[in-house]
Amino acid sequence: MLPCKDEILAKFERLLVSGRYILADEVRLLEEELAAACGVADCVGVASGSSALFVALAMAGVRPGDEVITTPYTFDATMEAIILLDAVPVFVDIRPGDLNLDPDKVEAAVTPRTRAIMPVPIFGAPCDMDAINAIADRHGLEVVMDNAQAFGTLYKGRPISACGRMATLSFYPTKNLPGIGDGGAVCCRDKQDAERIRRIRGHQPVRANNHLYTGWNSRLDEVQAMVIRVRLARFAEEQADRDRVAAIYDSYVPADSRLRLDGGGQGMRMTYHQYWVRSRDREGLRRALDAAGVDVGVYYDPPLHRHELAVYCRAAADLPEAERAGREVLTLPIHAALPFEDAHRIGSVVRDFLAPGGNSGA
């Protein structure tokens, strides 16, 4: 059942009658609320998370032939936006504990063509932003974050969306902060970036980075903004439910088979867009969960450096951890409506499978 259905229906009726469907009060208010929640100067609603990536990278000055360092363990859109700008995604391996870009491997991938680093807090886990920003500062690079999966995630006590020049959001219906269709946003630390993106999303040209950019249609519509605002008001409550489910899973899953945040996670908040476990015998674990009637997910298998579009990309070095995550990781249900008894039951299936002497060989 759609959470907040009655409230959404009541607001929808008002919106329908108002006749103001494009760039009116709901989008304006959502942008203000998101900027405050994300700790940034301004936020601009756009048509999707993919569109947000494209326009953010463009405004950060990524031009044809430039390189953008990113992770191969992410959704296709991360790479697509770079390729659409005729730039080159350069893949760097991930860390096994949080499945995020490994900052120790980023610097070796920097070349004279590198223009930006694009970290992706995958499944809602914070990336090591101090280390990434330090490398960016040393080499004069921009940091544009693909934050599609991590609205609400904190890095050292602050919203992770505020930890780069720009961070994108997606409101795709499976996201923790969802709409009922497509939608996205760009969180901007600098108001000038936001003003430029506002122009571009509404067919107005922009002069920046010694280039004249064409505008196009990348507007977030009022219906989506209205629904997202209703869900935003409930976000903390729904996140608390996801946190409860994650804590239940944590009590069953051995520490080396699940997320480990650096430094024990001091000041970090993981938002559990997905809760993952890993096993060398993922298929066996999947069968055990399947037999218990549990829907699981498998993502990024194979990772992007094995995608058909990898001909447009470069791997900075071998990517063994991304490969291993692609082979081993599986996600458990963690939506806010999951009953806690179900979480206990699912957790115990995983525990029994992964237990020494169980079936797993984890």
Ligand X SMILES: Cc1ncc(COP(=O)(O)O)c(C=O)c1O
**176 interacts with ligand X by CB under 6 A:** no
- Choosing from 172, 249, 252, 276, the residue that interacts with ligand X (CB under 6 A) is 172
Q: Which stretch binds ligand X (CB under 6 A): 29-37, 45-53, 240-248, 309-317?
A: 45-53
Q: How far is the CB of 49 from ligand X (least distance, A)?
A: 2
Q: How far is the CB of 270 from ligand X (least distance, A)?
A: 15
Nearer to ligand X, 274 or 279 (CB): 274
Least Cα distance to 162 among 151, 171, 172 occurs for 151
Return d(Cα 304, Cα 104) in angstroms, integer: 20
Count of CB atoms within 10 A of residue 276's CB?
A: 25
Mask for 147-166, x = binds ligand X (CB under 6 A) = -xx-----------------
Applying CB under 6 A, the site for ligand X has a residue count of 15
Concatenating the DSSP letter of every residue in 132-154 gives HHHHHHHHT-EEEEE-TT-TT-E
Running DSSP on this structure, what letter comes out for residue 297?
B
Q: In sequence order, which residues have a C-beta less than 8 Å from that of residue 329 and are 6 or more positions away?
A: 99, 276, 277, 278, 282, 298, 299, 300, 301
Q: How far is the CB of 360 from ligand X (least distance, A)?
A: 28
Concatenating the DSSP letter of every residue in 19-77 gives T--BSSHHHHHHHHHHHHHHTSSEEEEES-HHHHHHHHHHHTT--TT-EEEE-SSS-HH
Nearer to ligand X, 299 or 353 (CB): 299
Q: Rounded to whole angstroms, what are the CA distances from 318 to 312, 322, 324, 326?
A: 17, 9, 12, 14
Q: How far is the CB of 73 from ligand X (least distance, A)?
A: 10
Q: How far is the CB of 284 from ligand X (least distance, A)?
A: 27
**360 interacts with ligand X by CB under 6 A:** no
Pick out residues in 107-126 that bind ligand X (CB under 6 A): 120
Nearer to ligand X, 153 or 170 (CB): 170
Nearer to ligand X, 143 or 350 (CB): 143
Q: How far is the CB of 187 from ligand X (least distance, A)?
A: 14
Q: How far is the CB of 362 from ligand X (least distance, A)?
A: 26
- Choosing from 37, 40, 49, 285, the residue that interacts with ligand X (CB under 6 A) is 49
Q: Which residue is nearest to ligand X (CB)?
A: 49
**146 interacts with ligand X by CB under 6 A:** yes
Q: How far is the CB of 13 from ligand X (least distance, A)?
A: 27
Q: Which stretch binds ligand X (CB under 6 A): 131-139, 146-154, 216-224, 253-261?
A: 146-154
Nearer to ligand X, 48 or 360 (CB): 48
Mask for 62-101, x = binds ligand X (CB under 6 A) = ------------xx-xx-----------------------
What are the residues facing 276 on neighbouring strands?
A: 331
SS3 82: helix
- Long-range pairs for 92-97 at CB < 8 Å and ≥24 separation? 92/316, 92/317, 92/319, 93/317, 93/318, 93/319, 93/320, 93/321, 93/322, 94/122, 94/319, 94/321, 94/322, 94/325, 95/321, 96/321, 96/324, 96/325, 97/259, 97/260, 97/261, 97/262
**144 interacts with ligand X by CB under 6 A:** no
Q: How far is the CB of 299 from ligand X (least distance, A)?
A: 9
Q: How far is the CB of 228 from ligand X (least distance, A)?
A: 12
Least Cα distance to 93 among 72, 79, 114 occurs for 72
Pick out residues in 180-219 that bind ligand X (CB under 6 A): 182, 184
Return d(Cα 88, Cα 99) in angstroms, integer: 22
Least Cα distance to 101 among 354, 166, 109 occurs for 109
**50 interacts with ligand X by CB under 6 A:** yes
Judge whether 145 and 170 are in contact, CB under 8 Å: no
Residue ranges that bind ligand X, judged by CB under 6 A: 48-50, 74-75, 77-78, 120, 146, 148-149, 170, 172, 182, 184
